[in-house]
Amino acid sequence: MPGSFEASSISNNIQEKLTFAIMLKDWFFRTLKNVVIMAVLVYLLSVLQKILTEYGIIEYISRFLKPVMIFFGLSPKTAFLWLVSNTLGLAYGAGIMIEEAEKGITTKEENDLLNHHIGISHSNLEDLLLFTAVGGSFLWMLLSRWAMSFLLVWERRVFKSLRY
């Protein structure tokens, strides 16, 4: 009998290793799928941005959202980035934000203020719909995020103006 217990123990050990390998393989392919989906979405957002820029639609969006941007203490040039980050979130919008910064379309200061704003208020469409589905108040969550972002950006502006 002792031999059978040892054989059973070895069998369990092998089974655990196989289960872990299967789980690791499953995790890898699910993660790879998510990475590919995110890369495709970022690429499509970049293409959309180029099309919108080419046809002057981003300029129109910036003009339309200018009062909102000024209210929040942000540059109207960041309107498209603000719109992307507030609807889709940072994971999908980060590529476009980096591209705009590298091209010099937005300045370092404009990006800094935008980052302070979207650090609090981002992915408002997806996140808030999920929280609403489990009983949260969409309007209350949205307004509280916007209020905190408003306060943070204007505090940052005041602090910078006093420092210089």
Residues 79-107 pLDDT 10s: 988 988 888 788 777 877 888 888 888 89
Residues 107-126 pLDDT 10s: 999 999 999 999 999 988 88
pTM of the model: 0.70
Q: Quote the CA–CA distance of 81 and 86 in Å, as a whole number.
A: 8
The residues spanned by each domain of the chain are 2-163
